[in-house]
Structure 1
Amino acid sequence: MEVKNDIMVSVICTAYNHEKYIRQCLDGFVMQKTNFIFEVIVHDDASTDKTADIIREYQKNIRKSLSQFFKKLINTRKELMSAN
């Protein structure tokens, strides 16, 4: 199977406290057989469980393009309310 070199498809996945399900989700992405390069972008929305750790594990161990973006909580709701 000839593989094209440019990324042709971007898969974007958001996650928040999906520790129980994120492995199955990521496995589904990376097991795809294609003749083109695709990337998986996972946005962890500041999970408080082990979701981010699992994403990092996949990022280290999988050869396909797996990017990870962590949402940084800049302000708490209380800080936002006091600013008004």
Structure 2
Amino acid sequence: MRTTTCCQRLATRISMSRRGNCYDNASMESFFSHLKTEGLYPYDIRNMDEAQRRIKEYIQFYNQCRPQRKLNKLPPKEYRKQLIA
């Protein structure tokens, strides 16, 4: 009997960088750091449903409302409005 990996069960693929290239995933590593320190650690999360809810809320906040230094301290939504105007 052959065991299946989590990726196979979920029909996903692992994304790997070239060997020795540490910058490919830097933006996602930064996001996950913010997610944990701002969106998860401050709360007493007791179950998976609550964790998933907090993660969804944080992603919404991060993409819509959180000021970003690289966007002139504007939230992404406001920065995009300025680009369009």
Q: TM-score range by the shorter chain?
A: under 0.3
More helix by share: 2
Is the radius of gyration larger for structure 1 or structure 2?
A: 2
Relative contact order (C-alpha < 8 Å, sep 6+): which is higher? 1
